[in-house]
Each structure stands twice: as C-alpha cells, then as structure tokens.
Amino acid sequence: MRRLLLCLAFAAVPLASLQAGPEKVELPADWRARFVLYNEIERPDRTPNQVRLMYVNPEAAAAARAGQPAPAGTVLVMEDRPAVAGADGKPVRDAKGRMQVGERTLALAVMEKRPGWGAEYPATQRNGEWEYASYTPEGVKRAGIDTKPCFACHLPRTGPRDYTFTFMRWVEEGKPGPR
C-alpha cells in the first residue's frame, strides 16, 4: 500500500517540473582538451581583475563556421580566471594591451542546448532550449544554485543571437578565435 501511495504521489507531479533545471547540464570531462576557445573577455570590474574564457564544443563550432545556428547539443563553457598582476597590483598586459591570463580557475558556468529543454518554463523566463549550471573550479556541480538570474540575463538575447552574448556574435563576425 505504501508503494502504491508513493507511486500515486509521484504520478501527481507534472513530468515537466521534474525535467527542468541545472541537474540536466553536464560539464564534459574532456572540455579543456577538446573544446574551441572562441572568445576572451576582460573583466576589470571584478576583484581580482579577471579574464573570462569562452569555449564551445567542436561540433557546434563547426556548424557555426558553416553559417548554421547553434545546433542541439551545443555546450558553452565560461571559465573565469584571474589576470596576472604585476608588483604594483595592476594587470600585466601583452604587446596588444590585453590582460595576461592566470592559470587558476575561479569559476565555471555551462550553458547547454538540447531538444525540448525549456518547455517547462513560462515565456517570461524561457531561453529557447537552453539550460544553465554552475561548477566549482574543480568541475563539481554546485548544488542549489538559482539559475533564474542566468535566464533573466540571457532572455533579451532572443532571435538570431539565440540567447547567447558572444557565441552567435562570433559566428556572425566569422572570427576564427579570440586572439
């Protein structure tokens, strides 16, 4: 009887509510070796000064280079690293004036697109078929992270930008890489 009650209680929960969320998004184990670095963004507004590295899986990069939109299966990884600081505490810059990137990872975030993802969300929140997750510098998924700010921030990027800030712009501009 107890199992029957549990089954009935489970059946009463809408399936869509069980499918939404960051638990679906995975950080691929081989992303550092396999993914394409497509953009670097300086963040002097952060303490310490940071450089944000943007990566995409090679299959999505190939589709983008062929002029296609971000396909299902696109995985974007955002890695924040500290800028190298000089003795004066200011960022060390290269010959082109860009901040040098430190070795240590400060934060990781993943944006993943899969068929049918996002249908669980109201139109005021939905970002197409994208989901978001946050990871520790060691690659462990952060539990209990509220991804609503991710959805809110990316929501205005609808249309040809496909809820991305830099990836589809990189596609439109036909850039081979960040530097």
Strand 50-56 to 130-135 pairing: unpaired
Parts of the chain with a pLDDT under 50: 1-18, 179
- For position 19, what pLDDT does the model report? 60
Strand 75-82 to 50-56 pairing: antiparallel
CA 26 to centroid of chain Cα atoms: 10
What 3-state class would DSSP assign to 145?
coil
Q: How far is CA 127 from CA 26, 131, 155, 157, in A?
A: 18, 8, 6, 9
- For position 114, what pLDDT does the model report? 97
Q: How far is CA 71 from CA 17, 48, 74, 114, 124, in A?
A: 24, 35, 6, 8, 23
- For position 140, what pLDDT does the model report? 97
- For position 55, what pLDDT does the model report? 97
- For position 146, what pLDDT does the model report? 93
